[in-house]
């Protein structure tokens, strides 16, 4: 089955679990889940268009969710559905659940992996981070840790640069401080796509104004206890005032009942790593709806 956006990460005979990308659009964390989630669920994931190949962006979060929903129903025509997502992916999973409910289809479970409820002030903060280089520093230093860099990119390196120069600077830092399995041009192009994609996605979040979910799904919120950015940050991110670095998840106004909240010791931008995902799977597995 050829689908525009959905990928089968792990086959299975039971009911699938559909997982949605973070603001960066990538799916490495889902492959970690496939390794450590010891259930029989098939795992499908949605990759953001425009990251690994040229493709048109979505300019409304509702339209992105509707496109993903069309793929989802090709895999599983009728509910009940199991939906989840990391960060922005949790917001997309929420919107897909809303659209399924509007179509009369039941949603059994919604899994929010350190996802924050959409609201104007948080959306504008994320838009600012997408422009001033903080989100690009996240991606650059995630790669630096993966490639065992001698030095992380410091927080003051990118904000002083024009937007168009930030990705090239990040690529040069990686090439200087670690063994990179890519040529400079390919690495800079990848970081540039990440940078643009995150800016587009940040605006989608800032513009999204949902109505509440109807009763039905059991909602699980996996909440990192160190906030968006730790003190100090494992990714060398800037130290920010408490309300900016550790906002409330604030889903109560959009859900019919409070979510089951499962705390995890960590910071938001490190959740996609292999060790944090292994811990997440250990915590999530007993709460996950059966695959039958």
* pLDDT 10s digits, 154-165: 999 999 999 999
Instruction: Please give the pLDDT value at position 53.
Output: 63
Indicate whether 234 pLDDT > 70. yes
Indicate whether 288 pLDDT > 70. yes
Indicate whether 12 pLDDT > 90. no
**What are 194-229's pLDDT values in tens digits?**
999 999 999 999 999 999 999 999 999 999 999 999
Question: Top-level CATH class of 6-118+209-287?
Answer: alpha beta
Indicate whether 42 pLDDT > 80. yes
pLDDT, greater one: 34 or 4: 34
**What are 254-275's pLDDT values in tens digits?**
999 999 999 999 999 999 999 9
Instruction: Please give the pLDDT value at position 1.
Output: 65
Residues 6 or more apart in contact with residue 179 via CB below 8 angstroms: 147, 148
Confidence tier at 50 by pLDDT (50, 70, 90) = confident
Indicate whether 291 pLDDT > 80. no
Domain residue limits, the chain? 6-118+209-287, 124-203
Q: Mean per-residue pLDDT for 284-289?
A: 95
Query: Angle at CA 83, nearest 5°, toward 82 and 84?
Result: 135
Indicate whether 54 pLDDT > 80. no
Indicate whether 19 pLDDT > 80. yes
The count of C-alpha atoms lying within 13 angstroms of the C-alpha of 14, restricted to the half-sphere facing its C-beta, is: 11
Confidence tier at 55 by pLDDT (50, 70, 90) = confident
Q: Quickly list DSSP for 54-67.
A: --PPPSSHHHHHHH
Provide the 10 A C-beta neighbour count for residue 127.
20
Indicate whether 104 pLDDT > 80. yes
Q: How far is CA 75 from the centre of its chain?
A: 22
Provide the 10 A C-beta neighbour count for residue 172.
14
Q: Mean per-residue pLDDT for 55-84?
A: 94
Residue 14 tokens read as: 């039971």
Indicate whether 279 pLDDT > 80. yes
Please state, rounded to an integer, the average pLDDT across all residues of the chain.
Answer: 94
Residues 6 or more apart in contact with residue 201 via CB below 8 angstroms: 23, 25, 48, 88, 130
Instruction: Please give the pLDDT value at position 10.
Output: 95
For residues 51 and 25, the answer to whether their CB atoms sit within 8 Å is yes
For residues 229 and 267, the answer to whether their CB atoms sit within 8 Å is yes
Confidence tier at 2 by pLDDT (50, 70, 90) = confident
């Amino acid at each position: 089955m050829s689908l525009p956006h959905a990928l089968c990460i792990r086959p299975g005979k039971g009911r699938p679990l559909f997982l949605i990308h973070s603001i960066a659009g990538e799916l490495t964390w889902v492959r970690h889940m496939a390794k450590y989630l010891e259930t029989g669920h098939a795992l499908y994931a949605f990759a953001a268009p425009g990251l690994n190949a040229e493709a048109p962006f979505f300019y409304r979060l509702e339209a992105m969710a509707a496109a993903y929903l069309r793929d989802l129903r090709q895999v599983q025509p009728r509910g009940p559905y199991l939906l989840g997502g990391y960060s922005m992916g949790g917001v997309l999973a929420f919107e897909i659940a809303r659209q399924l409910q509007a179509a009369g289809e039941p949603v059994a479970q919604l899994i929010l992996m350190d996802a924050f409820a959409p609201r104007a002030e948080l959306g504008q903060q994320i838009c600012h981070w997408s422009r001033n280089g903080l989100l690009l520093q996240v991606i650059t230093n995630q790669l630096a840790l993966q490639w065992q860099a001698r030095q992380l990119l410091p927080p003051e390196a990118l904000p002083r640069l024009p937007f168009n120069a930030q990705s090239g600077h990040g690529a040069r830092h990686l090439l200087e401080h670690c063994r990179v399995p890519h040529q400079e041009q390919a690495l800079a192009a990848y970081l540039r796509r990440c940078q643009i994609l995150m800016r587009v996605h940040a605006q989608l979040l800032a513009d999204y104004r949902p109505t509440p979910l109807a009763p039905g799904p059991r909602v699980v919120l996996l909440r990192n206890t160190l906030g968006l950015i730790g003190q100090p940050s494992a990714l060398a991110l800037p130290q920010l005032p408490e309300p900016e670095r550790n906002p409330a998840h604030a889903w109560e106004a959009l859900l019919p009942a409070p979510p089951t909240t499962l705390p995890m010791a960590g910071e938001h931008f490190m959740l996609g790593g292999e060790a944090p995902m292994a811990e997440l799977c250990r915590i999530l597995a007993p709460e996950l709806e059966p695959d039958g």
